[in-house]
Amino acid sequence: MSGNRAAVRYAKAILDLATSKGFALEVNNDMTLIAKTIQDNAELASFIANPTLKIEIKNNALLEVFKDTTAVTKSLFQLLLENKRFELLDKIAVQYTKLYDEANGVEVATVTTAIAITTELEAKVLAKAATLTSKKVILKNIVDPAIIGGFILRIGDKQYNASVANSLLTLKRELSN
């Protein structure tokens, strides 16, 4: 838990710095790239988390991998180097994007479907999401064949479950009573 709190603090500080310098959007793009790269690359994640590697080696590697990032993002690498907290990088990146979206009135809606959604279905889901929140909605699709069909829409702490699996479960409960 303390790692998450530290990640939130770093993310807030970087967001404040980026906002004051006018690079909040660019840093958000950097953080999205960093989070996705670390999430998609298990070798990079274990490299960053490896406590036996010298921190300078990690810093140099990250500067090379993310050489096209902004100066604000590179200053985060330097700060993590000084504080020996490189293992928080992916958490900081995720927290930054959440804070950035929150500051800009953007809500990320997660829609879980049995197959990848089409643009037609995406438009329908966005229309439903617009009725649940007053913020601008960005859709993130998760494919889970276990729901069989339909979709599950999550926006913040609200959930709309229109999945076949949920309908079958409800029917099972009604029949067993």
How far, in Å, CA of 173 to CA of 2, rounded? 41
Domain shared by 83 and 141, yes or no = no
Res 3: pLDDT:
64
pLDDT along the chain (177 residues), means of 10: 82 96 95 94 92 90 92 93 91 95 90 91 83 85 92 86 92 90
- Boundary residue ending a domain (73, 102, 131): 102
In this structure, what CATH number is given to the domain that contains residue 66? 1.10.520.20
Domain shared by 96 and 154, yes or no = no
Model confidence pLDDT, tens digit, residues 127-142: 878 887 888 888 899 9
Query: How many other C-beta atoms lie within 10 A of the C-beta of residue 110?
Result: 13
Q: Which domain holds residue 121?
A: 106-176
Res 158: pLDDT:
84
Domain shared by 38 and 95, yes or no = yes
Domain shared by 150 and 68, yes or no = no
Query: Which two tokens mark 100?
Result: 């950035």
3-state secondary structure of 144: coil
Number of domains in the chain: 2
Model confidence pLDDT, tens digit, residues 94-105: 999 999 999 999
How far, in Å, CA of 101 to CA of 103, rounded? 5
Model confidence pLDDT, tens digit, residues 65-74: 999 999 999 9
